[in-house]
Amino acid sequence: MSARNSRWTAVSAAGLVLLTGACFHSTAPRGWLPTAVEAQRDAYGGWIKLDYAVNGNRQALHGELIAAAPDSVHVLTSEGMVAVLTATVISGTLTTYDANYGGLRLWAIFGGVSTLSHGVGLVFTLPLWAIAGSTATASASKAPRVESTNPALLRAYARFPQGIPPGLDPRSLRQKDIRTLSRH
Amino acid sequence: MRNALRWLSASILVVAVVVGCGKVYKQRRTLTEPAQVATIDHKSPFLKAHMRDGGVYILSPWSVDPTARTVSGQGERLDANRRSVGTGAHLIALDSVALFETNVVSTHGSVAALSIVTGASLALTALCLTNPKACFGSCPTFYVSDGTRAVLEAEGFSASVAPALEATDIDALYRARPASRMFEVRMTNEALETHVVRWARVLAAPRPDRGRVVATQAGAFWQASDIVPAQRCSASEGDCLAAIGTIDGVERFSTTDSTDLAAREVIDLEFPIAAGDSLGLIIGSRQTLLSTYLLYQAMSYMGRSVGQWLAALQRGDIRVREQSQSLGRALGGIEVQVLDAGGVWTTVGQTQETGPLASDVRVVPLPRLRPGTTRLRLRLTRGHWRIDYLALARLSGPVTPLRLDPVMVRRGNTTDAQALALLTDSSRTLVTLPGDEYTLVYQLPEDFSRYELFLESRGYYLEWMREEWLAEENPARAMMMFLQPNEALRALAPEFKARERDMEAAFWRSRYVRP
């Protein structure tokens, strides 16, 4: 194998490792997000990370998206419900379900490893796996992500997509208890 | 060992596919106002009815009755804090619902993408598992421009598979059409081999008016004129005239005999006039993959002792050298025959250019033929040759070509002075590895279009022993191939025959580097 091909193979192998790690990771607590299948019957909102400005200072909060109205976004954090004015929101990253792409990443990595059986042909097949594997894994990891500050796009994934129910006492809302979640 | 690795990696990959592809989904969520309930997505297995008080029904199965303006189904009612407040059958008035939510889950597109790559990857593994001797092999390959595109026009020193077999090879660049005096030849190493190139020269021989220059098997150059194609060509399959009229890649070939790989066949040719002095038969041909297969098979049978064999060759062991050429002699070349006075077809010359990649054009000078002679016959091993071109020419005189060393060598867009120095010093060699590619630039005479070009290359190459070949190590069979080649060619016939049909396609598919 020429030095050029060796370099290309090494770069591809490194790329495979690095790029399969270049996936989107939610800040949701482990086990909090339902899978796509579970989300069909899950009644909680998605997990949102909001960056917003208060008196020129950038702040961030994480929690369950409770509602997204045109004027405010309501998030249930570990310290209770917080309403953030939509006008102050700088960015919003919502994760709607657990992409569960670990298997896909494993598939891509094993695919790359399997090119060892191609002899020096791996100078072609390893880069192919690196590109396809990293692209597929990254794409799958980002599928449940909604990046927006637009309440109209966020509200479908809120606990109350219809908006905050009239008469609801925000202090009465409880967080999802992941210890008691049943995984069907 | 390598095969075990292949089976292992294929198995791991299959398991990874099973683990990975079944669980990666994407979700499509839709909110529907109660007034639009007729448009609700019925593909969703669950229906969520979000109530005005913050509670939610999660129903499955579910149905909508637009007339009664209700939805019904089995499921659970949760309050705003998602505590269960009732399970079972529910009938809900549309007026009490704030929003409906449906979710449709489908397999993510990335699964399809990786499935395609997996299929291709497994196919390559399977190819090397099932037919390792169909993997691409070649000596140095040379590409030139035919005026419109780069064409594979020569393969250098194909029979030189060891240092002791280093040889000079001359290939006609018959289709080359240089655009200027600076003539470029691209030299590549496209196989799992180490190429050791002592030189690669362009030979430029002045063409006669309306003629060509052709080389003989012995390396003599003849000016040829009055070139006429055959008017009849017949072989075992019938008329073969359409295949041999021009050098166009449309070739006449046959398949091997199923009981004897050395079995011969004949091709009968008829020309308008064949009698007279100074005639030669121009033959454009290349080998099929039979010789490549036999080389790889011999290396398989020799297995771990291949190094000893190469060492014996290197020591100048005459017996080993003779043995190494015995299979080639048994298969033979393309013999040219004429009818003698007694009505017997007699061989008057032959051409035998080794290599399955590029057709070479050679001339076989004919003896003075009796008046009235119009027929010639070719005798050759069945399934061993691909013939692209046959024509009769008058050989007007020998000619000595100019021998041109490259004046520049490039790798990519960079000038490689060291490679140039190696290729222009016959005491040194340029070593190339799989994937290497050099552009050799030659300066032709000013009236370059009036010259016939040839490539003269000298060197040898080392075939990389592939681990999967060791599985067939069989010293007795190896000895048979060298000492009793005709018997070996009969013994190997059934196995080759079983692979022959797909061998050409598999060979080119498995090429290590594509130009």
SS3 B81: coil
* Whether A183 contacts chain B with CB within 8 A: no
For residue B121, pLDDT over 80 is answered with: no
B26 C-beta neighbours (distance < 10 Å), count: 19
By the CB < 8 Å criterion, does A158 face chain B? no
Task: Round to whole Å and give the CA distance between A150 and B275.
Answer: 92
Pick B454 or B496 by higher pLDDT.
Answer: B454
Q: What is the pLDDT of residue A26?
A: 72
Residues of chain A with pLDDT under 70: 1-24, 117-121, 178-184
User: What tokens appear for B346 in the block?
Assistant: 């007699």
With the C-alpha atoms ordered A165, A168, A170, A172, is the resulting torsion angle positive or negative?
A: negative
Please give the average per-residue pLDDT across B356-372, as a whole number.
87
Q: Which of the residue ranges A33-42, B55-64, B270-279, B402-411 would you say has the lowest mean pLDDT?
A: B270-279
Average pLDDT in the B308-322 region? 69
Nearest CB to A136 within list B44, B103, B113: B113
Helices (H), B248-375: 290-302, 306-314, 318-324, 326-331
User: Mean pLDDT over residues B466-472, rounded?
Assistant: 64
Output the 3-class SS for B154-203. Answer: EECCCCCCCHHHCEEEEEECCCCCCCCCEEEEEEECCCCEEEEEEEEEEE
Least confident of B75-79, B165-169, B445-449: B165-169
First to last CA, chain A: 51
pLDDT of residue B77: 95
| pLDDT score recorded for residue B29 | 92
The dihedral through the CA atoms of B438, B157, B354, B482 has a sign that is negative
Residue B286 pLDDT > 80: yes
Q: Which amino acid appears at position B366 of this protein? A: L
CATH architecture of A3-160: Roll (2.30)
ipTM: 0.84
| Residue B6 sits at the chain A interface (C-beta within 8 Å) | yes
Give the three-state DSSP class for A128.
Answer: helix
Answer whether B114 sits within 8 Å of A144, measured CB to CB. no
The distance of B426 to chain A (nearest Cα, Å) reads 24
The confidence band for B315, taking pLDDT boundaries of 50, 70 and 90, is: low
Residue type, B22: G
| pLDDT number for residue B176 | 94
Q: What is the pLDDT of residue B409?
A: 96
pLDDT at B290 over 50: yes
**What is the arithmetic mean of pLDDT over B206-231?**
93
Q: Determine the residue among A19, A42, A116, A117 to mutate to test chain B binding: the one whose Cβ has the most chain B Cβ atoms within 10 Å.
A: A117
Q: Is B54 in Cβ contact with A168 (below 8 Å)? A: yes
Tell me which range, B68-77, B101-110, B368-377, is most confidently predicted by mean pLDDT. Answer: B68-77
pLDDT (tens digit, 9 = 90+) per residue, B68-99?
889 999 999 999 999 999 899 999 999 999 99
With CB atoms and an 8 Å threshold, state whether B25 touches A110: no
pLDDT of B9 reads: 59
**Least confident segment among A74-78, B42-46, B290-294:** B290-294
Mean pLDDT over B185-193 rounds to 85
User: Does residue B419 carry a pLDDT above 90?
Assistant: yes
Q: Could you say which residues from 59 to 88 on chain A have a Cβ atom under 8 Å away from some Cβ of chain B?
A: none
Poorest-pLDDT segment among A17-26, B236-245, B293-302, B329-338 = A17-26
pLDDT for residue B190: 80
Q: Which residue has the higher pLDDT, B372 or A174?
A: A174
- Predicted pLDDT at B302: 80
pTM of the model: 0.57
pLDDT confidence band for B2 (50 / 70 / 90):
very low
B109: confidence class by pLDDT, cuts 50, 70, 90: confident
Cβ contact, residue pair A133, B512, below 8 Å? no
- pLDDT at residue B334 above 60? yes
For residues A77 and B515, the model is more confident at A77
Residue B194 pLDDT grade (very low, low, confident, very high; cuts 50, 70, 90):
confident
Mean pLDDT taken over chain B = 85
Mean pLDDT for the stretch of residues B368-394: 90
Phi, psi of B158 (to 5 degrees): -65, -30
Chain B within 8 Å of A136 (Cβ-Cβ)? Answer: yes
- B430/chain A closest Cα distance in angstroms: 14
Indicate left, alpha or beta for B341 from its phi (over 0: left) and psi (-120 to 50: alpha): alpha
Q: What pLDDT score was predicted for residue A6?
A: 54
At B31, phi and psi to the nearest 5?
-100, 135
Beta-carbon contacts below 8 Å between A and B: 184
Q: How far apart are CA B23 and CA B18, in angstroms?
A: 9
Please, which pLDDT band fits residue B387 given cuts at 50, 70 and 90? very high
Q: Is pLDDT above 60 for B440?
A: yes
Average pLDDT of the segment spanning B330-336: 93
Looking at the complex, does the CB of residue B52 fall below 8 Å from at least one CB of chain A?
Answer: yes
What burial letters (b/e) apply to B211-227, b meaning 16+ CB within 10 Å? Answer: bbbbbbbeeebbbbeee
Strand partners, B20: none
pLDDT at position A138 is 84
d(CA A8, CA B435): 12
CB contact under 8 A, B19 and A103: yes
pLDDT at A178 (0 to 100): 67
